[in-house]
A = this chain, B = another copy of it.
Amino acid sequence: MTPGKSAARSAPVRTTGSALGPDHPSHRLVDSPYLRACRGERPSRVPVWFQRQAGRSLPEYRSLRREGSILDTIADPELSAEITMQPVRRYGVDAAILYSDIVVPLQAIGFGVDVVPGVGPVIDRPFETEADLDRLRPVEPDVDLAHVEATVRILVDELDVPLIGFAGAPFTLASYLVEGRPSRTYGRTKALMLDNPGLWHRLMDRLADLSVASIRSQVLAGASALQLFDSWAGALSPRDYAEFVLPHSRRIFNELSPLGVPMAHFGVGTGELLSMFAEAGATVVGIDWRIPLDEARRRTGGQVTLQGNLDPAVCLASWPTVARRVRRILQDNDGHPGHVFNLGHGVLPETDPDILRRVVELVHQEGPASNGD
B272 touches A316 (CB 8 A): no
- Let me know if A30 is at the binding interface, CB within 8 A: no
Residue of B nearest to A344 (CB): B237
* Residues of B with C-beta under 8 A to A348: 185, 187
A316 touches B269 (CB 8 A): no
A194 touches B238 (CB 8 A): no
**How distant is the Cα of A313 from the Cα of B183 in the complex, in angstroms?**
12
Residue of B nearest to A269 (CB): B269
**A331: min CB distance to chain B, Å:** 11
In the complex where A272-B291, A289-B237 touch, is A313 in contact with B195 (Cβ < 8 A)?
no
**A97: min CB distance to chain B, Å:** 20
In the complex where A185-B312, A237-B311 touch, is A317 in contact with B195 (Cβ < 8 A)?
yes
A316 touches B187 (CB 8 A): yes
* Interface band, chain A: 20 to 34
In the complex where A190-B313, A237-B289, A348-B185 touch, is A321 in contact with B269 (Cβ < 8 A)?
no
* Residues of B with C-beta under 8 A to A191: 313, 316-317
**A173: min CB distance to chain B, Å:** 18
Residue of B nearest to A321 (CB): B194
B350 touches A187 (CB 8 A): yes
Residue of B nearest to A193 (CB): B317
Residue-wise interface mask of A (330-373) relative to B, using a CB-CB cutoff of 8 A (1 in contact, 0 not): 00000000000000000010100000000000000000000000
Residue of B nearest to A192 (CB): B317
**How distant is the Cα of A188 from the Cα of B317 in the complex, in angstroms?**
9
* Residues of B with C-beta under 8 A to A286: none
A237 touches B290 (CB 8 A): yes
Complex interface residues of chain A between 312 and 326 (CB less than 8 A to chain B): 312-314, 316-318, 321, 325
- Let me know if A292 is at the binding interface, CB within 8 A: yes
Residue-wise interface mask of A (234-276) relative to B, using a CB-CB cutoff of 8 A (1 in contact, 0 not): 1011110000000000000000000000000000010110000
Extra 15 A-B pairs, beta carbons < 8 Å, given A190-B317, A194-B325: A185-B312, A185-B313, A187-B348, A187-B350, A188-B316, A189-B313, A190-B311, A194-B317, A195-B317, A234-B290, A237-B292, A238-B291, A239-B292, A269-B269, A271-B271
